[in-house]
């Protein structure tokens, strides 16, 4: 099986459930604690392309950093939004699993099984 990576926040129940589901299916993924080891802008951009979503769709819009930094502003470029996610990693959707050249957000956790 190809390498599997999970961008994980252990404080998030969906992230914990997704990691557990992977392990129950015999997958020991590389765990990236993205709040501590924030992916660079280029990696985030690649994940977004793999997911087939917009940069804004990949953001957690309910986070205080979204409101505090006026990220709702529609004039902001994708690069500016990506830079905000690098600066404030809580804005990154979670959990994200990468496998076999594809990516899925683990909401619901079972969605990640499609790419294994």
- The pLDDT, as a whole number, for residue 87 is 98
Please give the DSSP secondary-structure letter assigned to residue 92: B
CA distance 24 to 116: 13
Q: Which of 4, 10, 11, 12 is catalytic?
A: 12
How do residues 2-32 score in pLDDT, each as one tens digit?
Answer: 699 999 999 999 999 999 999 999 999 999 9
Which string of DSSP letters, residue by residue, matches 15-38? HHHHHHHHHHTT--PEEEETTTSP
How do residues 72-93 score in pLDDT, each as one tens digit?
Answer: 999 999 999 999 999 999 999 9
Please state the domain extents for the chain: 1-34+94-116, 39-93
pLDDT(52) > 60: yes
pLDDT, average across residues 94-116:
97
12 is catalytic: yes
The whole-model pTM stands at 0.94
pLDDT, average across residues 46-74:
97
Options 3.10.580.10, 3.30.70.260, 3.40.30.10, 1.10.10.60; CATH for 39-93 is 3.40.30.10
The CATH classification number of 1-34+94-116 equals 3.40.30.10
């Amino acid at each position: 099986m190809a390498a599997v990576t999970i961008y994980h926040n252990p404080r998030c129940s969906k992230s914990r459930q997704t990691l557990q589901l992977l392990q129950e299916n015999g997958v020991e993924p590389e765990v990236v604690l993205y709040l501590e080891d924030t992916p660079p802008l280029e990696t985030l951009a690649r994940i977004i392309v793999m997911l087939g979503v917009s940069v804004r769709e990949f953001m957690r819009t309910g986070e205080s950093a979204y409101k505090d930094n006026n990220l709702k502003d529609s004039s902001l470029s994708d690069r500016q939004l990506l830079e905000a996610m690098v600066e404030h990693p809580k804005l990154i959707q979670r959990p994200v699993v990468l496998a076999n050249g594809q990516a899925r957000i683990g909401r619901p956790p079972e969605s990640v099984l499609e790419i294994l």
